[in-house]
Every structure is written in C-alpha cells, then in structure tokens.
Structure 1
Amino acid sequence: MTRPSDLYALALEHRLPLVSGICALGSIVVVSSAWGFQLIGGYAPCELCLEQRIPYYAGAPVALLALLLSLKAPNTKLFTRLLLIAFALLMIYGGGVGGYQAGAEWGFWPGPDDCSGDVGGAVNDAASLLSSLKTIQIVSCTDVQLRILGLSFAGWNVVTSAGLAVIAFWAALVRGRKA
C-alpha cells in the first residue's frame, strides 16, 4: 500500500513536468470554458472578461515550454523554474483583474467607467451609428450574467488563477532531492 508521504515524495521528485503540465492544461481548460460559455451558452464577455483571458493565452505556451524543457532538457531546471514563476505572475495579474471585477459586481467598489461593450467598427455618420446601435450587445463589467456556487465568472477566475499560481510557485521554489 502506498503511503501519502510516498506520493508526496514522488510528486516532489517530478514536480516540474507535473506542474508544468497541470498549468498548461489548466490554462487551456479555462480558456476553452470561457469560449464555450460565450459561443455555446450565449454569455457575451465584457471588456474585463476579455482582459482576464490574456494571462491564460500567454500562460499556456509558457507552461507548455516549461513542460517540454522539463521532459526533454532536464539540465535546464533553472529556466524551467523561471518559466513557472512567469506563469504564476501571469496568473496573479489575471486573478487581480478578476478580483477587481468580482468586487465591482458585488458593489464593493465602482467598476470601470469605460466597461460598456464593443462599439464594433468605425461609424461614419449619425445614420450608421443609429443602425449599428441595434446590433451592438453592450455588456457591463458590473452585471453578473451567471453565478455558479455563488461565484461569477470573475470570481471563479480568481479561484482558478490563485490555484494555478500557488502550484506554479510551489514547483518553482520548493527544493527536493531532485527538481
């Protein structure tokens, strides 16, 4: 029977590829979920929602590079750790944006004044402005479109970003017998 301490020792020994893979997969799942809610569920993102995706767009390739290096070039442990730290910092930024939006949704502070949706393209005259207003879907950053277990999309982004940041920092900074 495997003891929990044995599992921890095994995870510690292989933490760089393990966590790099988890971070890459986590980023891909989060962005895919956001796109799924948008395209299939019909939930239009606001400006802050779109900004919260950027760390995942950047983080997935960073984590994949860390995974590749940890598997194919084990002598690059320092660079792999630096990539995981960069990934964690991206997640902290994204979680911060999510926290700001979640706080605005709960009314703890005002949301951004310019968070009102995409006007979509250039408008040359008043007639085209009026006709374009019929098709524009304006999404406020302070209106919650859906809550799952009490948290909005922004709230879940905070949880996910924090979790990914913690494990990325753990893998990068904790020393073990092997890295």
Structure 2
Amino acid sequence: MMLTRKMLMLTAAAGSLALMLGAYAFQHLGGLAPCQMCIWQRYPHIIAIAIGLIAVRFGNAALAWLGALAAFVTAGIGGYHTGVERGWWEGPTSCSAQSIGGLSTDELFEQIMTAPVVRCDDVAWAFMGLSMASWNMILSLILAGIWIAAARRPA
C-alpha cells in the first residue's frame, strides 16, 4: 500500500509532535530545564506540526517542502548545538562557558551573575553516547526525508 501525500505529511508532523512531547516530558517530568539552543530547536517543530494540521485540508507539495525546510532548520540547530556540546566550536556567549582569563573581579562577578541557569555546552542527558541535540538532529533529518517524499508524491 502506497501512502498518500497527506498521510506522509501527517506522519512527519506527528514525528515533530512526538519530539516536542518528549522534550516537554524531559523538562516537566524529568526536571531537565532546556538551554537556549534547546528552545530554538523547538520552534521549527511547532511550525512543522502546524503545517501538518494545514495539510489535513490542503495537502499540496508546497506545504510539504515547507515542512522539509522546518525539519532541516531544527536539524541544523541540533547539529550546531551538538558541536557546541562536544567543544568542536564555541556556542553563543549568552549560553556557553566563557574564558575568565584577564577578567577583573567585578567583571568575573558580572559574568557569574548574568550566566544562564542552563548552559548550552553541557550535556544534560545522553543515550548511546548521543545528546538530545544529536538525537533531534538525526530524527529531524529522517522527518525531512518523509516531508520530501510527501512533496514528491503525486497528489
């Protein structure tokens, strides 16, 4: 049985919904507060869910391409976040550890007082050696593939 475009779009949107529910479960049931970059990864999923709901009525290829774009954006943020966590590159100064070399006592105190509660370069949870950001990247790339399959499927 061949899945229709709408079914593929709903499947991809449901995948984003599952990832969002998982993120909120980790946050509210598991007590793992998200960092700033974790929150950035949520926005494209919310957009993908909305696209999936719109697809119930209008299941056209343009919507599927927008869903794929949303999935690629969150995967990109997840990949960037993974690099920050692994120390491959520096993250935003607003949520990553910064060098304290050369800071005066007042500057160090200011940096401590303005530091976010949850840092982006700390891995709060990992499974099979991969952080939540890494899993978001992998699963979002799979969702992007489903969105692309939907876009290429005849109406």
Compute the TM-score of the two structures, normalised by the length of structure 2: 0.83
2:80 is the counterpart of 1:89: no
Please tell me the residue identity of whatever aligns with 2:94: D
Please tell me the residue identity of whatever aligns with 1:64: L
Q: RMSD of the alignment, in Å?
A: 1.9
Residues 101 and 154, structure 1, Cα contact 8 Å, conserved in 2: yes
Alpha-carbon distance, 1:94 to partner? 0.7
2:36 is the counterpart of 1:47: yes
- Matched pairs, number: 139
Larger radius of gyration: 1
Separation in 2, partners of 1:29, 1:51:
17
1:60 is aligned, of 49, 64, 71, to 49
Work out which structure has the larger RCO, using CA pairs closer than 8 Å and 6 or more positions apart in sequence. 2
- Structure 1: segments with no counterpart, 5+ residues: 1-9, 71-79, 117-132
Aligned to 1:164: 143
Secondary structure, aligned partner of 1:165: helix
- Structure 2: segments with no counterpart, 5+ residues: 97-112
Identity of counterpart residues, as a percentage? Answer: 36
1:142 is aligned, of 105, 121, 141, to 121
Divergent runs of 4+, >6 A: none
Alpha-carbon distance, 1:67 to partner? 2.9
Aligned to 1:36: 25
